[in-house]
Amino acid sequence: MWYIISLLGTIMFLFGLANIVYPMKDLKVENRKIGCIVFLVGLILIAVSMDNILAKRDADLMVSDPEAYLAEMKRSSDYEWLQALRKLYPDRYAAEMKRRDSPGVYKGRGINN
């Protein structure tokens, strides 16, 4: 379903953009304000659908291949990676937290921790 919404958003985005650049008198859409509205609605539909598509992809990846999911989370952010690690592998999470609490590991609070 989200793919259909994404496709509809893309069509609206492109139609609105084309109408802003060149008003379509043949389609009786001469007003650029209508093009701006269609453009923005299409942009919103694309953003919402892509967010849901990526969330579903992450959920499917977590079930099918947890290691690939962890690698993906590590690329996106450290916080999300730690949360995924805690959920999937509590023992590895505890070891990582112990490693981070050890002396000599930069904790991100400044030069003099």
Closest to 21 measured CA to CA, from 60, 13, 83: 13
Tell me, rounded to whole angstroms, the distance of Cα 87 from its chain centroid. Answer: 20
Residue 89 pLDDT = 92
pLDDT in tens, the chain (113 residues): 878 888 899 999 998 888 888 877 776 767 788 888 989 999 999 999 988 988 899 999 999 999 999 998 889 888 888 999 999 999 999 998 888 887 766 665 544 44
- Residue 29 bridge partners (DSSP): 24
H-assigned helices in 65-101: 66-76, 78-88, 90-101
> What pLDDT shows up at residue 65?
92
pTM of the model: 0.61
Q: Which two tokens stand for residue 55?
A: 């969330």
HSE-CB for 110 with a 13 A CA cutoff: 2
Encoding tokens for residue 35? 């093009």
